[in-house]
């Protein structure tokens, strides 16, 4: 009787162990199935494929052509600028002797003063002094209290100029004579020697105007 009871107990334990193993296996299977259903990535040993975004080449835009195949040209220079540049110059014109003198527009309102140059004879053939006109172009801001440098222009006939060059007479105390600025068919225009010796206001501007050939001789003479 005791042997029979032991045998029954052994069979019962074996049955219980078998059923436990079956239940555990089913539980693991259900867990794996649940993970796969929720999107968990299964382990397969294969690297995932990475897809690069497509690169689109930039569009080539053709330049727009003018309507009716019209030619495109550069704009013409501004004519107003040229006119304004010309208005910056004031031209003094002398038709008595035939010359012009270009002045900055700051000289607007200038005056002309007429004086006389005198040449002292150096030879016996000349019995009296040689004389001629000197024109002074005077700045509008000139005053007796604050004088400015004039632009002196000596006028010689061709014969007078040649006689002076031959040392028939001499003008002033300077060891050298006037310097020629220009000439036409009747007259020579000259700058006095040491005209700017006093270095008064504006002498630098006059020197610049002389160097820039502001005086131009013409044949427009109306005696």
Query: 90-107: per-residue pLDDT in tens?
Result: 999 999 999 999 999 999
Q: What does the pLDDT read at residue 63? A: 40
Instruction: Count the residues in the chain.
Output: 223
Tell the residue number behind the tokens 């195949």, with chain if given. Answer: 69
Report d(CA 187, CA 190) in Å as an integer: 10
Q: What does the pLDDT read at residue 65? A: 41
Q: What does the pLDDT read at residue 15? A: 61
Per residue in 33-49, pLDDT (tens digit) is 444 444 444 444 444 44
| Dihedral sign (CA 159, 161, 166, 168) | positive
Per residue in 197-209, pLDDT (tens digit) is 888 999 999 999 9
What is the pLDDT confidence band of residue 68, given thresholds at 50, 70 and 90? Answer: very low
pTM for this prediction: 0.61
Tell the residue number behind the tokens 């910056």, with chain if given. Answer: 88
Report d(CA 161, CA 187) in Å as an integer: 9
Report d(CA 146, CA 200) in Å as an integer: 9
What SS3 state is found at 70?
coil
What SS3 state is found at 41?
coil
**In the predicted model, is pLDDT for residue 183 greater than 70?**
yes
Contact 77, 91 (CB under 8 A): no
Contact 126, 110 (CB under 8 A): no
Q: What does the pLDDT read at residue 70? A: 38
Report d(CA 65, CA 114) in Å as an integer: 68
């Amino acid at each position: 009787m005791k042997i029979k009871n032991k045998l029954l107990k052994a069979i019962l334990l074996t049955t219980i162990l078998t059923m436990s193993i079956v239940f555990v296996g089913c539980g693991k299977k259900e867990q794996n199935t649940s993970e796969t259903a929720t999107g968990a990535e299964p382990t397969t040993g294969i690297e995932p494929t990475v897809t690069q975004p497509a690169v689109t080449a930039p569009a080539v835009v053709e330049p727009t052509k003018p309507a009716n195949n019209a030619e495109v040209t550069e704009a013409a220079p501004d004519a107003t600028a040229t006119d304004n540049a010309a208005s910056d110059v004031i031209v003094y014109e002398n038709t008595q002797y035939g010359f012009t003198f270009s002045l900055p527009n700051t000289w607007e309102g200038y005056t002309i003063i007429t004086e006389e140059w005198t040449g002292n004879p150096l030879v016996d053939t000349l019995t009296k002094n040689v004389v001629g006109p000197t024109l002074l172009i005077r700045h509008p801001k000139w005053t007796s209290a604050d004088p400015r440098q004039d632009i002196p222009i000596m006028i010689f006939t061709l014969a007078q100029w040649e006689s002076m060059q031959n040392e028939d007479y001499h003008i002033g105390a300077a060891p050298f004579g006037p310097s020629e600025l220009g000439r036409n068919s009747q007259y020579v225009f000259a700058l006095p020697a040491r005209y700017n010796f006093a270095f008064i206001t504006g002498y630098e501007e006059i020197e610049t105007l002389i160097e820039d050939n502001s005086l131009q001789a013409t044949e427009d003479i109306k005696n």
